[in-house]
Structure 1
Amino acid sequence: MTPPLMSSVWTDHVTGRRGFLVVDRLVRGVAGGGLRMRPGCTLEEVTGLARGMTMKEALHYDPDGRYVPLGGAKGGIDCDPQAPEAYGLLVRYLRAMRPYVESCWTTGEDLGLTQDLVDRAAAEAGLESSVQAVYPLLDDEAAARRRLADAFALEVDGIGLDELVGGCGVAESVLTALDRAGVAHAGTRVAVQGLGTMGGATARFLARAGLRIVAVADIKGTIANAAGLDVDALLAARDAYGTVDRAVLRPADRELPGEAWLSARAEVVVPAAVSYAIDTANQDRVTARWIVEAANMPVLPAAEEALSARGVTVLPDVVVNSGTNAWWWWTLFGDIGPDAAEAFACTRRSMRALVEVMLARAEADGTTPRAAAHALAADRLPVIAERFGWYR
């Protein structure tokens, strides 16, 4: 594995906390990848995420599309996003990284940060936009920026379109795996860890597809009901951090310990919160047939080996949670307009095709879906480099 193109460690002069930026690869001089904030964030973690972004971009390459995949990058800050000093730290980090955001790194929300917060901090740091590095690649910058702004202003049932497209992609990944296995959607049981932007939207789409959400977990613990939870009620009762007000629970809903979602009696488990949630110490509690990685790097490699050995299929993050990133670029480059129905249709179509080809490759090669996804990315990266170059 080649080393990243650039790796930077920044220390805040006010708090002493550290931030990181890793640019794994450039395409036409630009890389894309979100900015996360969490306590314990490390350079190693951000490096892995940047490599993942390189693969996500490559996997969505369509030679006939307007969207040209970017290189991969990632930013990270070692801080609790709810800490009093978090916002000032975010502003100072972006001010320090301003030359990169202006020239080569497009970024946005990730774990612990919302897009609204990133936008506000970016403006305070003197930036035009968190994605301004991509503007020179656009045919009509003004029209593209209006299109993206209009898309971000759209709401569906009172929820921003930008909060829903990622979960739509995760849900379509689940449905594609069920369809290939001949498993009916209706009644298939699902446990979701994390009811924030990605987990909440995933639960919403799966419930509307007829699946039964039997467990959800947030920072307070797990809420479970074998007959199925009222997903809409739980989503409506969340705070800004995805924590559910327990006052809305029904008599049959049970409150269980935090890790109970792992061992829920379900066919599908969706870790949609933090990295490294499933490790070698707890993987044996999983009884599901599929683990679908809505979060970034939620299953440690050694745990995935053990899970695979006992017949549990892990659908990898580099495919499953790539819908939000792709939607940004489809909209900005003009493959789709600022329209919710068009966004969902494009997301479903693209994710289904990608999951289908990944699972077919895994079956043909006798490998895991993750190995198949990596092989697909490895096939596409030289094609992208040949056509577009790293810097031109």
Structure 2
Amino acid sequence: MPLLSLTWTDHVTGRRGFLVVDRLVRGVASGGLRMRPGCSLEEVTGLARGMTMKEALHFDADDPTVRYVPLGGAKGGIDCDPRDPDAYGVLVRYLRAMRPYIESFWTMGEDLGLTQDTVDRAAAEVGLVSTIQAVHPLLDDERAARQRLADAFAVRVDGIGLDALVGGCGVAESMLTALDRAGTAYEGTRVSVQGLGTMGGATARFLSRAGLRIVAVADIKGTIAHPDGLDIESLLAARDPYGTVDRAALRPGDLELPGDAWLSADAEVLVPAAVSYAVDTGNQAAINARWIVEAANMPVRPEAEELLTARGVTVLPDVVVNSATNAWWWWTLFGDMGPHAEEAFAHIRRAMRTLVGTMLTRAGTDRTTPRAAAHTMATDRLQIITQRYGWYR
């Protein structure tokens, strides 16, 4: 059971929001806030548990030079369409209600449906110093750490904020590691991506630049496909803030297909990078891919993963492959890296190659799935964290 689970009801619109704290480490838990229609307490509970595992998986118990000691796991969620005219007001009132928790022990940032700029603006409106102020007492030099993180958020790469690229860099490097271990060439490997927002868009960019061919992408309007590969840079430039592509940017020969066509695309790799529960027992049969890379949180239902595994599809789990965004915040804040793009990308690539390689080796040794191996690794590391820091302090 989580340490804390609560449901909030907006007194203006009646919409509901949730906060789940799965675990505290050194008195603090980390996890973002998402906003989407249909968000539920069950969903947020699973996401909070996932955050506990993501934090634990980046715990290096043997290197005394590492400054970032992983935190506990938490998650927030609001059942509201971020495009709704009432959405910002709901967000402000949610943060006002959650202010005591954010000030005390919940460090949070953007997640699905929200941008960090929007979260920061709403947080300032309710009087919060920062959405991560609960971690400030753990820093050696709070002023320098906050400046370092602010400088990192100010960095832009090809016109895109560094914070919007680090997660996709981690997802892409996870997939490249799996391809290397399988002896599969990057050139010619086809990829289908669901969601072209922050995570999906950055993942598509890094995979495309590595030589993989992005043959399909899906957004709220449907699927865009081309068997010879899409012009990813043009599509990314034509997105709105919610990851929806302006169809005027399509080239002759680009196909407009139904929204679920990304699932059955002729591709070796599927990247669900949008909503949770995208792959279930009903639609998993349409998948032809060899790998599924979970850029989104909990996109493959457990029952569907069992069926996929039985027919030879490998699922690279979210708790590992999409963990770089969260880790980048803390590596930067605590001072394990500076506020520079190339340093960040190099650090993420090294860390993800090590983590994914360890996970795949463990899965092979134990004759189990990558997810089961990741969970075992997280459990082992949580035991050490508990011994060193206790359950709550």
TM-score, length of structure 1 as denominator length = 0.99
CA distance in 2, matches of 1:329, 1:44: 27
Q: How does 1:25-44 map to 2 (within 5 A)?
A: 25-44=23-42
Match for residue 58 of structure 1 among 56, 59, 64 = 56
Q: Could you tell me how far 1:386 is from its partner in structure 2?
A: 1.5
Tell me, in whole angstroms, the C-alpha distance in 1 between the residues paired with 2:76 and 2:131: 12
Secondary structure in 2 matching 1:144: helix
Report the Cα distance in structure 1 between the residues aligned to 2:141 and 2:42, rounded to whole angstroms.
Answer: 37
- Which portions of structure 1, spanning 4 or more consecutive aligned residues, are displaced by more than 2 angstroms? 388-392
Asked if 1:346 is matched to 2:341, the reply is no
CA distance in 1, matches of 2:125, 2:390: 33
Q: 1:121: which partner in 2? A: 122
Shift of 1:389: 2.7
Show the counterpart of 1:20: 18
Per-residue deviation at 1:385? 1.6
Rounded to whole Å, the distance in 1 between the matches of 2:196 and 2:14 is: 31
Percent sequence identity is 80
Distance 1:230 1:20 in 2: 39
Distance 2:375 2:257 in 1: 37
Q: Can you list the C-alpha shifts for 1:340-382, whole angstroms capped at 9, x where unaligned?
A: 0000000000011100000111111111100000000000001
Partner Cα distance (1:241, 1:391) in 2? 37
- Partner SS for 2:242: coil
- Where does the alignment leave 5 or more consecutive residues of structure 1 unmatched? none
Residues 241-250 or 132-141, more deviating: 241-250
| Rounded Cα–Cα distance in structure 1 between residues aligned with 2:249 and 2:21 | 44
Partner of 1:190: 191
Residue pairs, 1:200-279, within 5 angstroms:
200-279=201-280
Aligned residue identity for 1:123? A
Q: Please, what TM-score do these two structures have when normalized by structure 2?
A: 0.99
Deviation at 1:252? Answer: 1.3
Distance 2:222 2:392 in 1: 47
1:71 deviates by 0.1
The equivalent residue for 2:43 is: 45
What residue number does 2:302 align with? 301
Q: For residues 204-258 of structure 1, what are the alpha-carbon distances to aligned partners after superposition, in whole Å with 9 as ceiling and x for unaligned?
A: 0000000000000001100000101000010011111111111111111111000
Q: Secondary structure at the match of 1:378?
A: helix
User: 1:255 is paired with a residue of what secondary structure?
Assistant: strand
| Range that drifts further, 382-391 or 243-252 | 382-391
Once the two structures are TM-superposed, the CA of residue 19 in structure 1 deviates from its matched residue by 0.6
- 2:110 maps to a residue whose letter is E
- Counterparts of 1:83 and 1:250 in 2: how far apart (Å)? 31
Give secondary structure in 2 for the equivalent of 1:337.
coil
The offset of 1:302, in angstroms, is 0.4
Instruction: Quote the residue 1:148 is aligned against.
Output: 149
Instruction: Let me know the Cα RMSD of the aligned residues.
Output: 0.6
Aligned pairs for 1:71-110 (under 5 A) are 71-110=72-111
* Shift in Å, 1:62: 1.6
Deviation at 1:390, TM superposition (A): 3.4
Query: What's the counterpart of residue 383 of structure 1?
Result: 384
2: distance between equivalents of 1:123 and 1:220? 33
Paired residues in the alignment total 390
